[in-house]
Amino acid sequence: MRLENKVALITGASNGIGKASALLFAQEGAKVIVTDINDPAGEATVAEIKAGGGQAAFFHADVSKASDCEAMIKFAEDTFGALHILFNNAGIMHGEDGDATSTAEEIFDLTYAINVKGVFFGCKYGIPAIQRAGGGSIINTASFVAHLGAATPQLAYTASKGAVLSMSRELAVIHARENIRVNALSPGPLRTELLMNFLNTDEKKQRRLVHVPMGRFGEAAEMAKAALFLASDDSSYMTGSEFLVDGGITAAYVTPE
């Protein structure tokens, strides 16, 4: 049990990477706080964990709101006594996110509020809790698009994930001597509801897929296994790093420094 006696909080845990990670973390012994704005789906994730013999609780949280993030951290400590693992996973990819000329300011602001400020708020309130627990692991979901321009324009999303990646690096440096590790998980294109809704035509899907050397979309369960590595002591000497799990897409298109 790689996460035995650990308490993990996962944002955006009602579906996709978040749900798959919540189920896997619980199987590995963690007590899991599931947070999301989708209450029925979040509660269903908790019910599935409990049905498998795990421990979990749901908390409604909109990560773009500081008060919700402060409250979710307090809930984790009140419910399970500590917080050791914080997985800032919640994010959006808005259907009206396009290029600079077509993307409305409101869409850009909304994307940043959730994808960037959500990570900031999670860390703002989560780091003191992890300090109280004696240390732990923070995982922030970035993306391969922090390195590459997307074939289908999604400027706000791409910019937001670049911000998550750079924020993760600085947090890692600041808190390295406190037994707190901070790493970014950067998935490639995934067969999740988030991306499939954005790539809503076969043409858009193929435009994205043609760039992936492995020739397929990744699965949420594959990302959960990567997150488990970052959450566990298996990655004990890893901080300030980016874990690219992308089917080879950045290897094919990024020139090494």
For the annotated catalytic residues, the residue numbers are 157
Whole-angstrom CA distances from 11 to 22, 197, 205 are 10, 20, 26
Name the residue among 160, 174, 65 with its Cα closest to residue 115. Answer: 160
